[in-house]
Amino acid sequence: MANQCGIPDQQFLWDVFQRVDKDRSGHISADELQIALSNGTWSAFNPETIRLMIGMFDRENKGTVSFQDFGALWKYVTDWQNCFRSFDRDNSGYLTI
């Protein structure tokens, strides 16, 4: 269930966070995030993209994302997905002119 801002409720986010946090450290590493994300082609995200995403949301400067930061990261990714989908009118996974 999502709130008015489109962020899922805390229990949903916690469940997702626990699935991504494979080593149960309480933080998501770049490797864990890269495994969890799909770019729509079943190929991995570029490691630099993952590093930049973690850097944007890592408030503790540990190179990882805590659960507290995860909601913002989740919203960022889903907002970009929604933006892409709004321009991918034929649902091909590509933007064409």
- Give the model's pLDDT for residue 85: 84
Q: Where are the domains of the chain?
A: 26-84
User: pTM above 0.85?
Assistant: no
Domain 26-84 falls in which CATH fold?
Answer: Recoverin; domain 1 (1.10.238)
**Closest Cα partner for 70 from 5, 12, 24?**
12
Q: Is residue 41 pLDDT above 80, yes or no?
A: no
How many Cα atoms occupy the beta-carbon half-sphere of 33 within 13 Å? Answer: 26
Q: Is residue 25 pLDDT above 80, yes or no?
A: yes
Q: What is the mean pLDDT of the chain?
A: 85
DSSP 27: E
